């Protein structure tokens, strides 16, 4: 099913010319799909739900949103036979964007659901955010991020000279990603135990622990860099 507004179909703006062929969104049973849909609709970007019969082409962008537990997310991808097309897409140098649980599923496993295998597109696992009286868990609300990697153009415009983001982003999670390669961590947030992952990346996969689609205009600006760059 293609959800595309008539404006998107007829627009000839420069924004549309630089847009990907198609954005394909995994529609989990419990997810923030409609928040993303609003962004695509407002920006008149073409998007559709990823079906297991799809054969994404490398210029497509697959989006893994997600709310819920690691087990439910992975069980959904396996039962709907979407895990293979997603992995194949990444192997063919296609771009994959994970948001929140979608980001955590890029890794190999999670302490939230022991024994459940993740997509394994980035080496590492997810662990529970350490309890601390000065840091409420779940980590719910707005926080600044620290951009640790200048190589990713996507995050560069958000960065102040101090490395901190100019705006805050909205987080809702209890587990955090711990990639094995430290350079996979491209942005962090502060926790009393140290810096935890706010965004991770490996080659053509990028994941955000926070919700850019729920972070107001700053979040939309970040999504513009992801989907319209």
Q: Using alpha carbons only, what angle is made at residue 115 by residues 110 and 117, rounded to the nearest 5 degrees? A: 65
219 binds other proteins (CB under 8 A): yes
> Is 176 labeled as catalytic in the residue annotation?
no
Tokens of 153: 């153009």
112 is catalytic: no
Q: Scanning residues 178 to 207, which ones bind other proteins (CB under 8 A)?
A: none
| Of the residues 23, 25, 33, 126, which one makes contact with other proteins according to CB under 8 A | 33
Interatomic CA distance for residues 83 and 200, integer angstroms: 19
Give 210's contacts (C-beta < 8 A, 6+ positions apart).
Answer: 100, 143, 145, 169, 170, 171, 198, 199, 219
Which one is catalytic: 31, 89, 100, 112?
100
What's the number of CA atoms in the CB half-sphere (13 Å) around residue 69?
8
Q: Does 44 bind other proteins (CB under 8 A)?
A: no
Residue from 3, 92, 166, 203 binding other proteins (CB under 8 A): 166
- Which among 139, 173, 176, 211 is annotated as catalytic? 211
Residue 170 CB coordination number (10 Å): 18
Q: Which residues are catalytic?
A: 100, 211, 213
Provide the binding-site residues for other proteins, judged by CB under 8 A.
29-35, 37-39, 67-69, 72, 101, 131, 133-144, 166-168, 170, 172-174, 211, 213-220
């Amino acid at each position: 099913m293609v959800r595309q507004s008539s404006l998107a179909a007829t627009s000839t703006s420069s924004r549309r010319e630089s847009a990907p062929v198609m954005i394909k969104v995994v529609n989990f049973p419990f997810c923030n799909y409609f928040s993303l849909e609003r962004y695509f609709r407002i920006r008149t970007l073409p998007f559709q739900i990823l079906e297991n019969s799809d054969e994404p082409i490398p210029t497509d962008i697959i989006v893994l949103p997600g709310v819920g537990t690691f087990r439910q997310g992975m069980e959904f991808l396996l039962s709907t036979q979407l895990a293979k097309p997603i992995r194949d897409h990444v192997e063919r140098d296609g771009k994959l964007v994970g948001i929140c649980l979608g980001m955590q599923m890029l890794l190999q496993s999670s302490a939230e659901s022991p024994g459940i295998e993740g997509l394994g597109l980035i080496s590492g696992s997810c662990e529970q955010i350490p309890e601390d009286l000065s840091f409420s868990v779940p980590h719910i609300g707005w926080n600044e991020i620290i951009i640790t990697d200048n190589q990713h153009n996507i995050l560069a415009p958000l960065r102040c000279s101090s490395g901190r983001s100019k705006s805050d982003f909205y987080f809702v999670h209890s587990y955090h990603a711990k990639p094995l390669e430290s350079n996979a961590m491209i942005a962090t947030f502060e926790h009393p135990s140290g810096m935890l992952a706010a965004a991770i990346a490996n080659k053509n996969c990028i994941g955000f622990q926070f919700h850019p689609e729920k972070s107001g205009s700053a979040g939309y600006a970040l999504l513009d860099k992801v989907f319209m760059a």
